[in-house]
Amino acid sequence: MIAAVVLGIAVGLLTPDFAKELKPVGTGFVNLIKMMISPIIFCTIVLGVGSVRKAAQVGKVGGLALGYFITMSFVALAIGLVVGNLVHPGSSMHLTEAVKGAGQAQAEAGSEGPVDFVLGIIPTTLVSSFTEGQVLQTLLVALLVGFALQAMGRKGEPILRGVEHIQRLVFRVLAMIMWVAPIGAFGAMAAVVGETGLDALKALAAIMFGFYVTCLLFVIVVLGALVRLVTGVNIFHLLKYLGREFLLILSTSSSESALPRLIAKMEHLGVSRPVVGITVPTGYSFNLDGTMIYLTMASLFIADAMDQPLSIGQQITLLIFMMIASKGAAGVTGAGLATLAGALQSHKPALVDGVGLIVGIDRFMSEARALTNFAGNAVATLLIGTWTGGVDKERVRRVLAGELPFDEKTLLDDSEDDHDAASEKELAKA
């Protein structure tokens, strides 16, 4: 993967015209991964919810997770707000007609309102969410099926076992797809470097540098302190454990490409299946720390660039609106840009034209917010598991120490069932 990314950058710089033609290679790989998202989320949540005998336990995990997600979203917004007001990177930028047109185009793509968002969670049929690849729709159907199996009691156990076999099959298919990950990474990186080159980055280096540094500090300082205080885990050990996933996200700019592997790795780490099954998929829609920081800094950047600085009151109301509008956009390359434009269009249309200023580098900023979102969800899963008693602490220590390596061949390991059973007992006691 590392060699593929470096080679892709080199090809993009040396032969940009040829590199642009490689875009379908990267797109094809990401589409293969997205093909697996719905069945993996469905199986994971059904098994997570269905295997917990009391609905109150599921509600406890879900309620705690949502409360944590909302709190961390506000923390991320506040951090981006402070950095944006200190740096003021957009003060030296100038608009062109082409830039204005790009901003209006993105606004049209992100113009969905809150009512449309809520109604969009409901699928047309029980199975349409699988064919349309809608994460939130799949989440809703899986929760309904999981609670239904829970209510069936022992009669639902054969169905649960069947779903578990299907999950293993799905992960095996995913493992086959991951063999072509270096090829997909090469095509994606070569295409984006060939399209933008280095010139597009020079004038916008300040906002990019500030954004990357802010995301890095958020992960290391904020998330690192939280996970250390609550679980005793060193954030660097956790990030190292998820190193392959971070590299996959870096090459595709989509945290969704690593979602299946995060589910498998957090279960392998020692977090119980119910906690992973509820927290990870939900976090992908509601725990968007990187996106929150991006929306904050990008809004202030555009306002400064257009000589229409926002007051503190305007900043707060705009960003609260964006936090609501961004839900469900995780993992989709370019969704952050569309969310930004759509929110500006509905809240302060005069700033929409400025969105075009960051179109050229959004692909690179997308990488940072996807990496931050992913790290935030990994930490959240470990925290929620600890708070609910759904973590095997000794296994966490052994996995992070390298004593129990992750099985890359199947994305599942034979000892999962044992530690799942133990973790579920701990969760029931809690």
Top-ranked range on mean pLDDT: pick from 109-113, 187-191, 260-264, 361-365: 260-264
> For 291-295, what is the mean pLDDT?
84
Q: What is the pLDDT of residue 384?
A: 92
Q: Measured between alpha carbons, how far is 81 from 74 in angstroms, rounded to an integer?
A: 10
Count CB atoms within 10 A of the CB of residue 172. 13
Q: What is the pLDDT of residue 97?
A: 44
Please provide the DSSP assignment of 4-43 as one string. HHHHHHHHHHH-HHHHHTTHHHHHHHHHHHHHHHHHHHHH
Q: What is the pLDDT of residue 28?
A: 81
390 in Cβ contact with 271 (< 8 Å): yes
Residue 334 three-state SS: coil
CA distances 188 to 276, 278, 421, Å, are 30, 31, 41
Q: What is the pLDDT of residue 185?
A: 76
Q: Measured between alpha carbons, how far is 279 from 376 in angstroms, rounded to an integer?
A: 11
Q: What is the pLDDT of residue 415?
A: 44
Residue linked to tokens 């299907």:
166
Helical segments of 219-361, H only = 224-231, 235-241, 243-252, 259-269, 273-286, 289-305, 312-325, 335-347
Q: Which residues pair with 391 in a beta bridge?
A: 271
Q: What is the pLDDT of residue 128?
A: 78
Q: What is the pLDDT of residue 103?
A: 43
Q: Which residue has the higher pLDDT, 181 or 395?
A: 395
CATH classification at residue 52:
1.10.3860.10
Q: Measured between alpha carbons, how far is 44 from 186 in angstroms, rounded to an integer?
A: 30
Structure tokens given for 185: 């990474």
Residue 165: pLDDT band with limits 50, 70, 90 = confident
CA distances 339 to 14, 53, 210, 352, Å, are 34, 39, 20, 11
| Residue 291 scores a pLDDT above 90 | no
Residue 100: pLDDT band with limits 50, 70, 90 = very low
| Residue 83 scores a pLDDT above 90 | no
Q: Report which of 119, 142, 133 is spatially closest to residue 49, judged by C-alpha positions.
A: 142
- The structural domain count of the chain equals 1
Q: Report which of 390, 319, 370, 375 is spatially closest to residue 62, judged by C-alpha positions.
A: 390
| E-state strands within 174-244 | none
Say which residues have a Cβ less than 8 Å from residue 348's Cβ, sequence separation at least 6: 310, 314, 318
Q: Which residue has the higher pLDDT, 136 or 231?
A: 231
pLDDT of 203-256, one tens digit each?
Answer: 556 677 888 888 998 999 999 999 999 999 999 999 999 998 888 887 776 777
Q: Which residue has the higher pLDDT, 255 or 428?
A: 255
CA distances 326 to 276, 309, 362, Å, are 22, 23, 16
> For 425-430, what is the mean pLDDT?
51
Q: Report which of 365, 367, 399 is spatially closest to residue 382, judged by C-alpha positions.
A: 399
Q: What is the pLDDT of residue 98?
A: 43
Q: Which residue has the higher pLDDT, 295 or 269?
A: 269
User: In this structure, what is the dihedral angle of CA atoms 54, 148, 163, 275, given to the nearest 10 degrees?
Assistant: -40
Residue 109: pLDDT band with limits 50, 70, 90 = very low
> For 177-189, what is the mean pLDDT?
79
Question: Residue 409 belongs to what domain range?
Answer: 2-429
Top-ranked range on mean pLDDT: pick from 18-22, 90-94, 104-108, 185-189: 18-22
